[in-house]
Amino acid sequence: MNAQKSAVCFLGDAQMSKETMTSRQRMVATLNRKPVDRYPIDLGVHFSTGISAFAYYNLRRALGLSCDNIELAEPSLFLARVDEDVRRRFHIDTILLNPPFVRTKKWSPRAGYSFVVPDGFNPEQDSEGRWVIHRPDLTLIMAANGYHFDGGWIDYYGCGDDFDAKLAIFAKSAERIYKETDYFTMMMGFSGYFHGLEFACDMLTDPDYSAEINSNILKAEIEKVGKLINAVGDYIDAIEVNSDLGTQQSLLCTPQSYQDLVAPYLKKFIDFVHQNSDYKVYMHSCGAISELIPILIQCGVDALNPVQVSAKGMDLETLKSRFGNDIVFWGGGCDTQNVLGTANPETVAEHTRKMAGILKRGGGFVFSQVHNIQGDVPPENIIAMLDEAYNSSFYGEQ
């Protein structure tokens, strides 16, 4: 077993001699559209580039690594915190900013799996075998033999809506990461100024009210990001704005409504960030959003995630040729809906090689699969994807 473990864990070391940049340097250069030795690889810097704790458990077991202390990074989505040994094995260039929970315990959702969870995480199993978390303001449910909770998110740091308290915790994590590692990290959680279907209806029926909402949010968000810049400084290199704008087939609002009632506020926010820091702005938006990408570029969005290639109008060749010089594509490296969880490892590797080959042309690409790796994805497929991502990542030989 030890010999097998060594062979697995150090696969790819021969290519590491070709690397000429640290992870942070590589990420920053990519976001600044400067030459890099290889495109960066992300696994878990954001809650949409992560991996289910179940899939992570199976991956570690397949690699011959210990599964004794797999920690949840996000309990509702049930995402694992990616460990250093896995980051090194797959040449990951990023690290999650969110610090470990202070008080933890072990919890087993079913036979064969045990995870480190925050002390306040207390699901109860009902008569149907579901795990249920009851809170005064929400109820979260994991289906029997499911892989994540539906119903909302819970703050296990105990900060609630107190951004100053959260910032104090996260600033310490940012300083530690910056001083003790060469990884790239970012702060999640800023508004994208589009707030879902109800807001989309308001945009049509009461545009003045919608504008008032975003005006108030903009003021609060600029105050928050200003505090972040002052407290954290150069310890992070990016922030995230979150705004799902599309379904599998279409947008959730018209481009004109977005241009009129969302874009002005997003642009003002991003302008403030760019004028007062060197932070890049990463935007998360699922769905068929190709029609909005020109507007996002005008707003100053630096990087777009997850690049949902299975959605209508999200053909990679078209996206790369139209927008590749103006925005960084952070994702799109492997189709999680139709390939990663269902194909064989050889097909996954071939697919990853094709997708990455399109996106790496001319730079401006950070590898990640399309959204999170789900709990039932076979570990062989994850290994095939991430190994091929690294093998295809180098520039200079193309």
> How do residues 179-236 score in pLDDT, each as one tens digit?
999 999 999 999 999 999 999 999 999 999 999 999 999 999 999 999 999 999 999 9
Kindly list the distances between the CA atom of residue 327 and the CA atoms of 193, 213, 246, in Å, as whole numbers in the listed order.
Answer: 19, 28, 18
Residue range 309-321: mean pLDDT, rounded? 97
CB of 187 closer than 8 Å to CB of 26: no
What percentage of the chain reaches a pLDDT higher than 70? 95
Smallest CA-to-CA distance from 228 within 185, 261, 257 is with 185
Q: Give tens-digit pLDDT for 350-365.
A: 999 999 999 999 999 9
Whether 132 is in a domain gets the answer no
- Domain presence at residue 138: no
Look at residue 307 and tell me if it is in a domain: yes
**Mean pLDDT for the chain overall:** 94
Give domain status of residue 80, yes or no: no
Q: How many domains is the chain built from?
A: 1
Q: Is the dihedral of CA 171, 73, 269, 161 positive or negative?
A: negative
What's the rounded mean pLDDT across residues 150-161?
92
Asked if the structure places residue 73 within a domain, the reply is no
pLDDT bin (cut points 50, 70, 90) of residue 7 is very low
- What is the percentage of the chain residues whose pLDDT exceeds 90? 93
Look at residue 273 in the predicted model and tell me its pLDDT: 98
Say whether pLDDT at 9 is over 90: no
Angle of helix 197-205 versus helix 207-232 axis, rounded to 10: 130
pLDDT for the residue 18: 86
pLDDT at 6 over 50: no
The DSSP H or E segment spanning 125 is strand 124-125
Longest dimension (CA), the chain: 67
Does 79 map to a domain?
A: no
User: What domain range includes position 318?
Assistant: 10-51+91-101+159-391
In a domain, 70, yes or no: no
Coil vs helix vs strand at 331: coil
CATH code of the domain covering residue 249: 3.20.20.210
The reply to whether 140 falls in a domain is no
Q: Which amino acid is at 108?
A: S
Average of pLDDT values for 54-74?
98
Which pLDDT band holds residue 17 (cuts at 50, 70, 90)? low
